[in-house]
Each structure stands twice: as C-alpha cells, then as structure tokens.
Amino acid sequence: MHDTTAQIEKRVERFVRERLAPAAERRHRALDVTAWEVPDEPVPFAEAVRQEFTPVAPGTPWSRPWGTTWFRVTGEIPEGWGGPEVALELVVDLGFSARQPGFQAEGLVYRPDGTVVKGVEPLNAAVPVGPGPVDLYVEAAANPDVGGHHFYLPTPLGDKRTAGTEPIYALRRADLVERDLTVDALLRDCWTLTGLLGELERSLPRRAEVLRALERMCDAVDPDRVAGTAAAGRAALADVLSSPACPSAHRVVAVGHAHIDSAWLWPTRETIRKCARTFSNVLALMDEYPDFVFACSSAQQYAWVKEHYPELFERIRQRVAEGRFVPAGGMWVESDTNLPGGEALVRQFVHGKGFFLREFGFEPDEVWLPDSFGYTAALPQIARAAGANSFLTQKISWNDTNRMPHHTFWWEGIDGTRIFTHFPPADTYNSDLSGADLARAQRQYAEKGLSNVSLLPFGFGDGGGGPTREMMEAAARTRSLEGSPAVEVGTPRHFFDLAKASHPAPGTWSGEMYLELHRGTYTSQARTKQGNRRGEHLLREAELWQATAAWRGLGRYPYEELDAAWRTVLLQQFHDILPGSSIAWVYQDAERNYAAVAAALEPLIEGAQRALAGAGETPVVFNAAPVAAVGVPALGAAPGAVPAATAAVADGSGWVLDNGVVRASFDAAGLLVSFVERDFGRDLVAGGEAAALLQVCRDLPNQWDAWDVDAHYRRHITELREADAVAAGDDGLVVRRSFGQSAFTQRFRLAAGARELDIETRVDWREREKLLKLAFPLAVHADRAASEIQFGHVQRPTHTNTSWDAARFETSAHRWVHVGEPDFGAAVANDSTYGHDITRCWAADGSVFTLVRQSLLRAPRFPDPHADQGEHVLRTALRAAPTLLEALDTGYRLNLPVRAVTGGGPVAPLVAVSSPAVVVEAVKLAEDRSGDLVVRLYEARGGRARTRIEVSEPFARAWTTDLLERDPAEVGNTAVRSASWAAGEPVEITFRPFEIVTLRVRRAD
C-alpha cells in the first residue's frame, strides 16, 4: 500500500484551519459601541458609568499603555437568531495580538447593575448573552506586552511615566455571534485527535487508525455546507474517540488553575483586576461544566477580590462551600522561599490559612508553590508545623544542569521532617491539556513501575485567564482515550490522596531544592531586599516590646497595626517582587510600602520602650536580639551607652584599628591585609591577599537579565585595589574608590571591646550589566560552608566534585555565613545581602584558602532598565568564629542594633532561655486576641539542646502549639510536639536538631 500519511496530515490541517474553524460562527453582527477613556488610574464601575460615552467604530485606537477605557456595547438580538444548536455570544476583540494571553490587553464585562459577568481575554473572548437586548460594559485594560518577543531587551513600558501616551491597541470587533455547537464540538474532536496524532509513534496501528478517521471526517463534511454536515464529520470520528485508554495508561489528575503573579510585568493594582477577570471566567465556566473544579492559592488575591469586588467574592464563597473553587496552598502569597526570614515564612501560613479558615471554614492540606525560584531546606518543617501534609512545585524542572531524579517523593528538611512532594512531570503549570502536555507527563514520569499518577495544572496563567471551555472539552475527550493518558478533573487533595495510596514508599530527597537557574534573584533590586530585611526586623522589635509592655499592663497591644504591616511585608515577598524580577513600577511601589511600614512601626517600638523604661533621664539601652549585646541581656534593656569606635592609627605602611581584642591592619591603599583576634593569635586573612575587596564583574546573562547570574562572570573581574583617598579618624578608617561612573566609600569601624570589624560600603552605583562583589579570602581550610537559612543553617560544599556542586556556584544566605576548621573559623555577616559564593582557592605557594564573597549589587536592563541605580548603603561584619553560634551572634546583633531611650532603669526580659543553642525568634500576643503570649524558639546549632524557658510574669498554663497557635492534639498535627505545663512547673524542653517550638502561655489571673 502506498504511504499517503504526509498528504493526509496536510489535508486535515488545512481543512480544519480553513473550513471548520471559520464555520464555528454561523453568523455575526456588529453591535453599537460607545467609550469613555479614564484620565488616569482605574475607577470603580459606579464612577465609570456616570461619565459621557461617545460612539466608536471598529478600528478605533483606544487608551495609552497602562490606561483604561470603558466600552458600552448595546444592540438588539435579531429575530430568528438562537436555537438549540447554537449559542448566542458577544465576542470582543480589543486588538489582541498572537502573543501569550495574560500579557496584553484584557477586559472585564459588567451588567448595567454593576454585577460582573466574566473576563475578556485573547483566547477567551466570548460572553454569553440573551435573551433580550444586549447591554454590557467592558472595562478594557491597555496593558502593554512588556516582555515582547525577546524577554531581555530594555523597555520603557515597565514604568507608567516612561511608557508613552500613544494608543497601543485598536478595537477590532464587538459582535453578536451565533456559535454553532456541532461545528465547535467537531473542532474540539479534531484538536484532541490531531494532538494525539502528533505524539503517537508513526509505526503504531493506533496512529494510522486515527489518521484515517480524520481523513474520513474530511470526506464526510461538505466544505460548502459545514454546519449541515458537521454531525456526519463527528460520526466519522466517533469510533476512534470512544476507544478506551489501555489499563496501564498514565493517570493524570487535571487541576483547574490560573497562576496569577501577584506582581511581575504589571503592578499589584493590575493584579487586582486580573483576579477579577480570571475568577469571573472560572465562575462562568462552572455554570457551564458541573464537573469543573478550580484551585487557587494566595489568600491575598481573595482578600483583594473581597475588598474591591464583594459581589464576586460572595459567588466564590458559594463555590468554595460546594468544593469546586478550592483555596490551595495556605500562604498569603506564593512567596519566594530563599529570601524571607523564618518568622516571615511562618506568617505566610498564619495569615494565609487564617484568612481561609475565617472566610470559608476551609484549611488547605498542601503547600502550592509551582513557580518559586528554589526551596529552602527549612520549608518541610514549617509546612508540616502549619498543618500541611503535601507540597507541590514545578519550577525545579527549569534546572540548567541536573534533572531531579523524582516526581513523587518525600522531601526531608534540615530537622528531619518530611513532606510528601510532587513535581508535575509535564513541566508546566499552564497546560491547555494538549496531546503534547499529556504525553510529556507520561513519558517523563520518573516513578514508573512504582506509581502511575501525576498532577497537571491547566489554565492560562502567569498573567491569569484560567481554564477555558476548550480545555474542559479536551479533558472530556481524554478521560479514557486509547493512546493518551487518562485524564480526570480533580482537586489537589484528591490527587495527593491517590498518589499516597499508589506509592506508599517513595524515595527521599534531603536538604534544599536548589534551582539551577535564576541565581541573580538573590541580589537584584537591593533596595527591596533591604526593605524586606529591615521590615522583618522592625516587626520583630515592635511585637517583642509591645508584647512585653502589654503583659506588664503598660499598654494596649496594637494587633491591627501589626497585622497591616505584616500583610505588606508578606505581599512583597511574592516570588517576582522580592527576588527582583519585576518591572520598575513594582519597585517604586515596594519602596513606598517599606517606607510606610517603617513609619508605622518605629513609633510602636519607641512608645513601648519608653513605657517599659519608665520615667527618668538615664540612658536605657534596649536589645531586641536573642543574644546579649553591649552588656545588655537578650530581649531586655539596661542602663548604659553604645561603645565608641576605636581610632585608626598610621603604622608606617598603612593603618591599624586595634581595640585590644582585635587588630585589623590596612595597607597604604586602605586594603584589609590582616585581621587577628588575640585569643587565637592567628591571621584570618589569607597570606598575600586583601579582604573586604570590592570586585566589579561583567554580568551578561544568556537570557533572563534580572533573574540570572551565569558562571562566566568569573572570567571577567576587575578588583578595586587603588584608592582615591584614605582618611583615618577617631571613628575608624574611610577609604574612597571609583570605577567607571560609580563611586565607593568603605568605612571600617571597630568598637571598643568588639570582636568583629564593621564594614559599611556606601555605593553610588551607575554601572550597567555589572555585578558588584565584596571578597574575603580567608585563611581557613573548609570543605564546606554553613549559610544561615530560616530557623537554622545548611552546609554546602566549597568544592565542585559533582555536577550538582558545580551548578551551585551562587547561593543564598540570610544574616551570616561561616567557614571553619575544627578549632578555628570565620563569620561574614550582613545586614541586607543574600547572594554569596563560597569557594576553595589556592595561593601562589599552593596553600589552600576559602574565598567568601558577598554579591552586593547588580545592574540588569530587563525588566527594569534602571535596576539598582543610585545610592546604597550596605553593612558587613567580619570576625573570627570557632563555632556557628559566634556567627549567629554576630548576624543577629548586626541586624538588630541596640536602641537607647531615656528612662528610669533596666527592663527584665519577658522571656529567657538557659541554652545558648536555643534561639527566641519571636515574642508576640496570640492571633485570636486572647492576650495569650506566644513565643517561637528553635535549636540553632543542629544538635540536641535542653533548655529552661523562663517567663518573667506569672502564668496559669503553658503549652506547645502548631504554627497557627493551635493545640496539636486538637487538630491532629503529629509533626509538632505536644506538651503542657501547669502554673509553677518549670518549662523545660529538650530540642531536637533545628526543631521549631511554638510555646503559648496564659497569664495568671
């Protein structure tokens, strides 16, 4: 038999494209359109409809980039239109491009009474109408396609002030359409089968069977009478569509989803409208498909809809009660997990789950983070302690070097806690349920032979939009289809129940899940990262001192003010805000928001401290750190003064800072060439090297500018060894340097009695596509380095023995890193820097040393062409540290500097612990407004530690809780310890390595 496969495929493709697709619209008629352009920022419906609308015609340009135009669409339904075989719809084309949906113009359709109908999107532009006249409003958003075709070219579109004023869209149509349901169903049949055809082996009989059926369809449908013969075309395909999936077919649980970035290539104000458009689309689809369910994370997005679209929110509430609109994940936003502090990650769940429980009486069972840029090894314990039992992500499939060996597995955190974890093997969270996506899931699933079920999130995402009727039709046709995985639409919990039952003994991945990509997100947009770090610590201080004052009867605890500040900080930890990968507009908002957080919290801190210090004129120094500082106990206050700095002294070849504890020597160019703590008598700086050395590196990522630092930067480094000026003074040594258009001022300060050298780096940064590093070549032979993460630390190799080691060339750390030998080591701490690289190096004489470098600043051109430009002040501390606890001590004190107020005397800590390995991370009052004290503690060294926890005020009862401050026994959470103590009993706990304990204390009457 002659092989005519290629000819048939071409015939089918053209027949579907040129004959079937146009026939889906039986007839259409233009409707009357009037418009009003909003002068500036978006306005509510009630304000818009009061304006004067003027007539517009198809082809009329509308609005400017980031502008809004309201269209009113009116008209009569002609007599004879409609019927059982057609659907009447309004089809709106705002000037959509062929680019990806969710990244361009969008609209939201309202009825005249102000209720929302659904969104209008590039691939979801139809709105049901009838019976009666058409009268609808469309709020059209002229969102520019910031990414364009290249996704790395600088663009002014990310800033409203520079985006231009000329219209970028033109209205193409606003038509009443009769959609032929039979032709549309035939198109869905063809789409599913041609997608399957593209994935089947060419030699399979099933492929030939499907191809011949499609050929018969082309014969059965009269191209001149498509509507009248479409049923015959469907009949020609019926047999191949009804052939069931084989028993061993991979099973896919398809979860309706719309990954809406809370900000990215649009500001948060536009995300609010994206949520309304997407959620209304979803609700409309639920009306049409009774088996459709939709999972949506991010309590913040629900909260926005509740505030701005209350009628829409009530419809969501009804669908949540039915189990069809499913709150997922339990976090306030889909946050980054590398950069937020430990307490901030806890509060993501406290605020997220708290919202879902209050509003819906629903608690998600899983963590849902499909797109965050790597996952901290602290997360399994945090998630389980917050009541989650499963975890989902997809982003690790983006690794540039190594492929994760599992799709369904246990993930073990630093403390040994495990959480059941799944990566969708289709490698997407925006599936359209195509044959390609389904086949990829089956082909790539790593646990074949052990389990045979995977999850596939479907729906247009990133910019929102969500699932469409075409996707639901695809799901129906692939429920059981020979040659395809079997598709079932379900919820995340349904999938995880199936996965756990089918794979009772999965493998284990231990430690962090490092994303081998997007390493620049530890550094980009330094001001936002500094605002986050500062905001987290201000919140710690405000809660600590306000709780202490409230428990001593000295004031009202400011629940609402603290909650508002937390919600702002949590929002900005979203995985495209804090990592630095958003447009300029987002960072203008972020800087204003962090300033507002500081303005709200500083008076709370000072007011509580003054109340605690009492009347008097004595300087009282408050220490919010969980370690002693300048003679003040942890979490307490004492009379005293902040130690003065040591004067810099010339020594003939340079300068010296010497406080009797530490001697730091500088050469004539102001380079730190020696650092000796007298207790050790050993130089911390590698021989012949200079520490605190500024390095400017070429930074040209292959594609993702703000996201990536690529390894080739290391081959293009300029060291700033020459000084423009060196000045010694009573407060230390000041060194000025320059490079290109940028200026650098380093101030070295050694306080009296201090063991660390404080380094302030002030930069006027004017470079483009450069990376600024601060290098510390340390005379330490370390085969691994410890980096602080949430509630502990991770150890990473300094060598590159394996491809996994080599790919981890840029890493994140919180307040400190530590490298050490058995009896000696070094700590490098920071006040707002997250990016680091720590490597093994060799001197000219062959001796080994460890190079620790902080990544201070970058200068990417996309998506914000002015990222990191301007003035920055960053602080670093260097000290000899034989153990990790010295590093922890320095990191906390650098980030929580003491504060002084005038008062009457000392303030005893409200909470104290007896073990130096146990750290008090948070002191606050309970979320339920009961007045109970809540204390969060963790073991920091990575070993077992027994400690007594002292509360200075009498208490009636103390007990451990989960992170949501609930009794573990009452909620069935076996991942956290359950213990209680009566009044008068000593509160003593033996902590497991890195264990987090939340203690709740009820005040005695």
Is 462 in the active site? no
Residue 946: closest CA among 987, 976, 984 = 987
Q: Which candidate in 159, 189, 371, 705 is catalytic?
A: 371
Cα Rg for the chain, rounded, in angstroms? 31
Q: Identify the DSSP state of 156.
A: G
Query: How far is CA 415 from each of CA 386, 728, 791, rounded to the nearest angstrom?
Result: 15, 47, 10
Q: Cα–Cα distance between 881 and 139 in angstroms, integer?
A: 60
Query: How far is CA 796 from each of CA 159, 447, 805, 808, rounded to the nearest angstrom?
Result: 39, 28, 8, 9
Instruction: Give the contacts of 371 (CB within 8 A, at least 6 positions apart).
Output: 259, 261, 334, 393, 394, 395, 429, 462, 575
Coil, helix or strand at residue 745: strand
**69 residue type, one letter:** T
Tokens 């790919």 belong to 807
Contact call for residues 446 and 101 (beta carbons, < 8 A): no
Q: Cα–Cα distance between 143 and 157 in angstroms, integer?
A: 9
Query: How far is CA 266 from each of CA 12, 142, 204, 331, 482, rounded to the nearest angstrom?
Result: 40, 11, 47, 21, 42
Q: How many CB atoms lie within 10 A of CB 424?
A: 27
- Strands 251-256 and 453-458, sheet pairing: parallel
Q: Cα–Cα distance between 697 and 828 in angstroms, integer?
A: 21
Contact call for residues 988 and 959 (beta carbons, < 8 A): no
- Strands 654-658 and 251-256, sheet pairing: unpaired
Buried b (16+ CB within 10 A) or exposed e, 358-383: ebbebbbbbbbbbbbbbbbbbbbbbb
Query: How far is CA 293 from each of CA 457, 461, 467, 660, 710, rounded to the nearest angstrom?
Result: 11, 16, 10, 69, 41
Q: At what angle do helices 559-571 and 299-308 cross, to 10 degrees?
A: 110
Q: Cα–Cα distance between 760 and 451 in angstroms, integer?
A: 55
Residue 488: closest CA among 475, 500, 501, 474 = 475
Q: Identify the DSSP state of 626.
A: S
3-state secondary structure 645-714: ECCEEECCCEEEEECCCEEEEEECCCCEEEEEECCCCEECECCCCCECEEEEEECCCCCCCCCCCCHHHH
Contact call for residues 589 and 271 (beta carbons, < 8 A): no
Instruction: Give the contacts of 54 (CB within 8 A, at least 6 positions apart).
Output: 34, 35, 36
List the beta bridge partners of residue 418: 412
List the beta bridge partners of residue 134: 75
Contact call for residues 175 and 28 (beta carbons, < 8 A): yes
- Residue 7: is it exposed, middle or buried by C-beta count within 10 angstroms (0-12/13-18/19+)? exposed
The two three-digit tokens of residue 515, written as one number: 């994303």
Tokens 């034989």 belong to 882
Contact call for residues 379 and 413 (beta carbons, < 8 A): yes
The two three-digit tokens of residue 218, written as one number: 């082309």
Residue 647 backbone zone (phi > 0: left; psi -120 to 50: alpha; other: beta): beta
Q: How many CB atoms lie within 10 A of CB 631?
A: 14
Enzyme catalytic residues: 371
